[in-house]
């Protein structure tokens, strides 16, 4: 079962990603967008972890942010 992060924890994880990975969040979001057409959340997280050696929390925060932004675009 996956962890559920609070909004504050999500923001904190996103803020630490550039320092921990050497890449900006926007770069990671593009990586998810351009990556394989995976449907399930955990598949995307697993792909980021295996392909890019990310920690679980960082991968989960990136995919969650990607999904939030994609949903916001659909509302416009």
Tokens of 58: 């960082």
Q: What was the pLDDT predicted at 74?
A: 83
Digit-coded pLDDT (tens) for 6-48: 999 999 999 999 999 999 999 999 999 999 999 999 999 999 9
User: Angle 12-37-24 (CA atoms, 0-180°, nearest 5)?
Assistant: 30
Tokens of 68: 């939030």
Q: What was the pLDDT predicted at 2?
A: 54
The pTM for the full model equals: 0.90
């Amino acid at each position: 079962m996956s962890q559920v992060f609070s909004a504050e924890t999500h923001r904190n994880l996103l803020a630490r990603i550039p320092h921990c990975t050497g890449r900006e969040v926007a770069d990671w979001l593009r990586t998810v967008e351009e990556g394989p057409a995976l449907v399930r959340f955990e598949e995307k997280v697993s792909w980021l972890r295996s392909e890019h050696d990310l920690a679980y929390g960082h991968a989960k925060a990136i995919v969650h942010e990607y999904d939030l932004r994609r949903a916001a675009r659909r509302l416009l």
